[in-house]
């Protein structure tokens, strides 16, 4: 079975609405990784979507692309380190960031985000 097939089998909650599907995906990802918060933002730091009780998600979204711009920040929060990854989805550069937990499985996430984007097209 491929990794994408394994991911498809894990999806319990689904939605035909791309915005709701994105929130469900980020919520599921956060639970699996044991992350305190997970956000998706643009290269300008504009929050696209995010989940995480007790966190300022807009702030996390704004911080997500900072590492690539060479800004030095203390990116540790009560829940752990902020990890941020630049990903390409549909020709757009986005940033997937998480607080604490396990490392983000990037290939799996990009595949899921592409499926969600295809719903919106």
Domain CATH number, residue 108: 3.30.450.30
Q: pLDDT by residue (tens digit) across 62-120?
A: 999 986 665 545 566 777 888 889 999 989 999 999 999 999 999 999 999 999 999 88
The model's pTM is: 0.82
List b or e across 96-117, with b for residues whose CB sees 16 or more CB atoms inside 10 angstroms.
Answer: bbbbbbeebeeebbbbbbebbe
When the pLDDT of each residue in the chain is averaged and rounded to a whole number, the result is 85
Residue 16: domain span = 3-120
**How many structural domains is the chain composed of?**
1
- Structure confidence at residue 71 (pLDDT): 52
**CA dist., res. 112 & res. 105, Å (int):** 11
Residue 9 reports pLDDT greater than 60: no
Give SS3 for 91.
Answer: coil
The proportion of the chain whose per-residue pLDDT surpasses 70, expressed as a percent, equals 81
């Amino acid at each position: 079975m491929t990794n994408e097939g394994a991911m498809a089998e894990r999806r319990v909650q689904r939605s035909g609405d791309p915005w709701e599907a994105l929130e469900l995906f980020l919520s599921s990802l956060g639970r699996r990784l044991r992350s305190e918060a997970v956000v998706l933002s643009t290269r300008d730091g504009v929050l696209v979507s995010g989940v995480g009780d007790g966190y300022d998600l807009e702030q996390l979204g704004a911080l997500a692309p900072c590492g690539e711009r060479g800004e030095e920040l203390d990116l540790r929060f009560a829940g752990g380190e902020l990890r941020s990854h630049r990903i390409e989805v549909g020709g757009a550069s986005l940033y997937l960031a998480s607080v604490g937990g396990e490392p983000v499985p990037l290939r799996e996430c990009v595949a899921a985000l592409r499926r969600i984007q295809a719903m919106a097209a």
